[in-house]
Amino acid sequence: MTDPSPGPEHAKAPGFSEADRAGLYKAIFNRRDVRGQFLPDPVPEAVLARLLTAAHFAPSVGFMQPWSFVVVTDPAVKARVHGDFEAANEEAALRFEGARREAYRKLRLQGIREAPVNLCITCDRDRAGPVVLGRTHIPTMDLYSTVCAVQNLWLAARAEGLGVGWVSILHPRRLQDILGIPQRVVPVAYLCLGFVSHFLDRPELESAGWRTRLPLDQLIHFDGWGGDGGGAPTLLDEVRQVMADMEGGGPASPG
């Protein structure tokens, strides 16, 4: 990986050493969506407490902190969630056609039963009242804020050596019923969490040929959609170099 240094000394984050910042980038680029590699080893409560605290320290618009966490370890509850996944997964398979459908059915898309901990992260859209600073014109900011909590937890888990898998193929209303979540509260993420046998070098869907990582330099616009910055901006050259370093198997591979 290229040197993550932000540039001049005055621009460096106070209190963060070179090793601290390198560790952050390492967690980001080595994060994976884990499906089939979970081990049965229990997650120590002290570790789980750190992960939940990391999630709780996520940014939230208007400091609304709309999230709650449902920790699931009961095999019977997991079995009910897994049953809904199977139903939803078959419905999803039927949306694809031909070879794509067959390829879909070969994918491993969850680890509900195998992961020692399942975690449902929710959003209480009424927690901060009807008028929320920063949500007045984009009402979904509470949902976006909850996703920030998901990402905080995911990166902290990777730093702790734990894998996380996001199971999005579920019926939200059914999940609410299974977990007793109030109707006003939105289940945003159902996560499988635990130690794993190994982390994949590349995202599983990329390795399986389902999708490839898009070229970042084609996703950057300058001063408006489609703007090229008046030629070939240095930033794009830097982006291409960083991406090439990642794809070349540097210390922090993309994920």
pLDDT tens for the 255 residues of the chain, in order: 445 555 555 555 578 899 999 999 999 999 999 998 999 999 999 999 999 999 999 999 999 999 999 999 999 999 999 999 999 999 999 999 999 999 999 999 999 999 999 999 999 999 999 999 999 999 999 999 999 999 999 999 999 999 999 999 999 999 999 999 999 999 999 999 999 999 988 888 888 889 999 999 999 999 899 988 776 678 999 999 999 988 876 544 444
How far is residue 203's CA from residue 236's CA, in Å, rounded to a whole number? 24
Q: What is the model's pLDDT at position 204?
A: 87
Q: What is the model's pLDDT at position 7?
A: 54
How far is residue 94's CA from residue 113's CA, in Å, rounded to a whole number? 24
- Cβ-in-10-Å burial (0-12, 13-18, 19+) of 48 comes to buried
CB 50 within 8 A of CB 156: yes
Give the global pTM: 0.89
Helices (H), the chain: 18-30, 45-56, 75-93, 98-106, 141-159, 172-179, 204-207, 234-247
Nearest to 121 by CA among 175, 176, 70: 70
Q: What is the model's pLDDT at position 255?
A: 42
Q: What is the model's pLDDT at position 232?
A: 63
SS3 category, 225:
coil
CB 128 within 8 A of CB 184: no
Q: Structural domains in the chain?
A: 32-211 (3.40.109.10), 213-255 (no CATH)
> Reading across the β-sheet that carries 162-166, which strands appear in turn?
67-72, 117-124, 185-195, 162-166
How far is residue 6's CA from residue 132's CA, in Å, rounded to a whole number? 34
How far separated are the first and last CA of the chain, in Å rounded?
13
How far is residue 154's CA from residue 149's CA, in Å, rounded to a whole number? 9
Q: What is the model's pLDDT at position 41?
A: 96
